[in-house]
Homo-oligomer: A and B are copies of this chain.
Amino acid sequence: MTASKRDELVEKALEIFYRGGFHATGMDKLVAETKISKTSMYKHFRSKEDLIVATLKLRDEQFRTQFFQRVSELADSPEGQLLAAFDALDEWFHDDNFKSCMFIKASSEYQDINHPIHVVAADHKRHLAGFFSGLAAKAGLRNPEDIGRQLLMLVEGAIVIAHLHGIDNAASDAKKTAEILIKAAS
């Protein structure tokens, strides 16, 4: 199998798992919806769970690239970008395909903290916390590590609320709290 076929599989599987869940989506359904044969799938991945790990890693990469870029487009200063992150979040929540966070869902279905799927999910969140604390440091805030974790916490909370209740003002609620938090740390 060429790399491009493997990439095609991972990209398509990512969408299907994101939309339908991991346990609730079987290999036969993946075959039907990706138009890629099961034999091909098992040529590149030893198991369904290995495929899930690959989709999460791709999602991590894509999400961060897109999210960081969007934040950079929305604001120039580090402090502005900390708040712009919530505007980018709001855009994501309003996407018709928004279905919560793939990593929150993955860690909910694979709860063992040492499970490879859970590990990838936790790594993703560490990267995001780093993003926030990096900006907080650049913005000259006090305790940027703490601020980074706290802002990430707001993001996670907003995602959960947006998913549970459908589109509402979760992102703007979070942004207001972030504004207060940042002001207090200036």
Contact = CB atoms under 8 A, between A and B. Distances in A.
A184 to B, nearest CB: 5
Nearest 3 A/B pairs, CB to CB: A157-B157, A153-B157, A23-B23
Interface of A: 21, 23-24, 99-100, 103-105, 107-109, 111, 113, 118, 121-122, 125-126, 146, 149-150, 152-161, 163-166, 169-170, 173-174, 176-177, 180-181, 184
A109 to B, nearest CB: 6
A153 B146 contact: no
Question: Looking at chain A's contact residues, is the secondary structure mostly helix, strand, loop, or mixed?
Answer: helix
Nearest to A18: B111
A161 B125 contact: yes
